[in-house]
């Protein structure tokens, strides 16, 4: 019995150059062209944000930038959509808690 084709085999893709980024202090391997969400998924990380109220874990939901469930802090900038932001060599990505800001936003 033959194996099912993989997405890579269907398009004839080859592995790209790899580099390291850090997520919550942990070194993760990324491939050129991957989004931050793809790097996190590949490492088995499914949640990287907590909600403003209740601190419930969140990760990727829509995967196309329509929702805000996949927000992370990248290189000190909060509220970055992990599904849209390309991973870059040396990036420092951290779990985003609540609004991603040290002080509460006005009216919250």
Q: What is the dihedral of CA 87, 91, 97, 103, to 10 degrees?
A: -130
Full residue range of the structural domain in which residue 58 is found:
17-97
Question: Total structural domains in the chain?
Answer: 1
Whole-prediction pTM:
0.77
Per-residue model confidence as pLDDT tens digits over 10-22: 887 777 789 999 9
Give the SS3 label for residue 36.
helix
The CA distance from 35 to 70, in Å, is: 11
Residue 106 domain-assigned (yes or no) = no
Domain membership of residue 105 (yes or no) is no
Q: What is the rounded CA–CA span in Å between residue 73 and residue 31?
A: 20
The answer to whether residue 103 scores a pLDDT higher than 60 is: no
Instruction: Give the ranges where 1-108 is alpha helix by DSSP (H).
Output: 7-11, 36-42
Establish if 80 belongs to a structural domain. yes
State residue 16 phi and psi, 5-degree precision: -90, 175
H helices then E strands: how many in the chain?
A: 2, 7
Q: Is residue 41 part of a domain?
A: yes
Residue 47 domain-assigned? yes
Domain-embedded: residue 50? yes
Residue 90: which CATH number? 3.10.20.440
pLDDT digits (tens, 9 = 90+) for 67-85: 888 999 999 999 999 999 9
Q: What is the pLDDT of residues 23-55, one digit of tens each?
A: 999 999 999 889 999 999 999 999 998 888 888
């Amino acid at each position: 019995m033959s194996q099912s084709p993989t997405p890579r085999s269907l398009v004839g893709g080859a592995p790209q150059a790899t580099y390291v980024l850090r997520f919550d202090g942990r070194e993760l391997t990324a491939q050129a062209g991957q989004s931050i969400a793809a790097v996190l998924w590949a490492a088995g990380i499914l949640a990287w944000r907590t909600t403003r109220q209740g601190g419930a874990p969140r990760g990727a939901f829509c995967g196309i930038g329509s929702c805000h469930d996949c927000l992370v802090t990248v290189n000190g900038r909060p509220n970055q959509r992990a599904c849209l932001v390309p991973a870059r060599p040396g990036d420092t990505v951290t779990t985003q808690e609540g609004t991603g800001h040290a002080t509460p936003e006005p009216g919250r």
